[in-house]
Structures are given as C-alpha cells and as structure tokens.
C-alpha cells in the first residue's frame, strides 16, 4: 500500500515525533469533550488515527468520511465499530444539521477549494466544528529541521495551502465563531460554533 505522509507521521517510532503527535491528538480530544457531542463526523478522516484516539476518551457515535479508498481500508481495520463513508468533503452525503460536531483535521491544506469544504461542514453540523491546519511557517521549518522535503523547502507533499494562525482564524471566521484555539506545535486547532443567525 502506498502510504500518505499522515500515515508515516502517526506510525513514526521517533519518540519526539510520537510525543508531538500525542500532544496534537490530546488537544483535539480536550476540545471535543468540552461540548459533550453525541454524534461526531470526522470529515477527511484519512487512516482513522484521530477517531482511534477519540474513541478512548469520548462516548459518542462516530462516522468517518474520506475520498481515498486505501486510507478508508486502514481506518476500517483500526476502527471496525465505526461507520465509514467514501465521499468528498465537498459533497457530504448527509442531511443538514446531522452532527453535533464535525471534525476537519489536517484537510484544508490539501484542498483547492477550502471555502467549499467549510461551507459543507457548516451545513452538516448542528452547532460545532473542530478544524485544524499546520501552522506556517513553523510546519515547514520543522520539516527542514528533520531534513524532510528539502527540495520543496519543507513543504509536505500535497500541501497546497499554507496559513499562519491569524490567516487561518480569518478564513474560518467567515463561517464560524471561533470559541477556542489550541496551538500544539506545529498545528493550529480551532473549536468553532456556527454563527448566530440574526
């Protein structure tokens, strides 16, 4: 199986990388637990690492969605009790207001139309979204320090969008009110709530 950079990151045996990844996953878990959601969608779930971690801490019904069939095969093997859908984050096969919380973790940096994905997330959530992206330029500097992706100046393959924390908050504020930000290096994670309709 051809593995993604995400898969390589989460299966890396380096103790420092493992610790950094755990800090990220724990931050997501802490933010999710703040609102006690009962039904959660992980849109762009990849190989299911976030869902696997959340299942340990959060009592909820989970659904995962991804466009990559091979990633879904891995996700299903890691999380056999979770329902997974093969679909795009741009066209999610759910009714409006289907979930208490939608997670969009490490997805936006890969998308040609991030606004379209955010609009779809705002459609399928009843209230909350949890969205994360790599924090630039820290992400690239970290890759260069590890001597990774040197020819692309530390840019991870497949990353076509790059946000500082401020720019990221500006983007998602078009769709959500940002309630809390966590910044486990090298990510920015935002817990968001749908904007109030006046």
Query: Quick check: 183 and 138 in contact, CB under 8 A?
Result: no
The set of residues, in sequence order, having a beta carbon less than 8 Å from that of 4 and lying 6+ positions away, is 46, 47, 68, 71, 158
Please state the domain extents for the chain: 5-194
- Give the pLDDT band of residue 155 (cuts 50, 70, 90): confident
Phi then psi for residue 88, to 5 deg, are -90, 145
Query: Quick check: 80 and 60 in contact, CB under 8 A?
Result: no
Mean pLDDT of all residues in 17-32: 93
Q: What is the pTM of this model?
A: 0.91
The per-residue pLDDT for range 76-113, each reduced to its tens digit, is 999 999 999 999 999 999 999 999 999 999 999 999 99
| Cα–Cα distance list, 102 to 37, 54, 83, 95, 132 (Å) | 10, 13, 15, 13, 12
Say which DSSP state 4 is in: P
Identify the CA nearest to 56 among candidates 79, 23, 34, 85.
Answer: 79
Please identify, in words, the CATH class of the domain defined by 5-194: alpha beta
């Amino acid at each position: 199986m051809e593995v993604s950079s995400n898969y390589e990151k989460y299966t890396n045996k380096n103790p420092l990388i493992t610790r950094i990844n755990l800090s990220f996953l724990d931050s997501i878990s802490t933010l999710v637990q703040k609102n006690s959601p009962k039904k959660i969608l992980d849109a762009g779930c990849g190989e299911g690492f976030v869902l696997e971690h959340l299942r340990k801490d959060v009592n909820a019904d989970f659904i995962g969605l991804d466009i990559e069939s091979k990633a879904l095969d891995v996700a299903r093997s890691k999380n056999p009790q979770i329902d997974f859908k093969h679909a795009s984050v741009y066209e999610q096969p759910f009714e409006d207001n289907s979930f208490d919380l939608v997670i969009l973790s490490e997805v936006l940096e890969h998308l040609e139309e991030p606004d379209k994905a955010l609009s779809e997330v705002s459609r399928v959530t009843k209230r909350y979204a949890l969205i994360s992206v790599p924090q630039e330029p820290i992400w690239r500097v970290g890759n260069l320090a590890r001597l990774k992706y040197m020819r692309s100046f530390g840019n991870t393959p497949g990353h076509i969008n790059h946000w500082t924390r401020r720019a990221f908050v500006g983007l998602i504020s078009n769709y959500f009110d940002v309630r809390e930000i966590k910044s486990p290096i090298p990510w920015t994670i935002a817990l968001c709530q749908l904007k109030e309709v006046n």
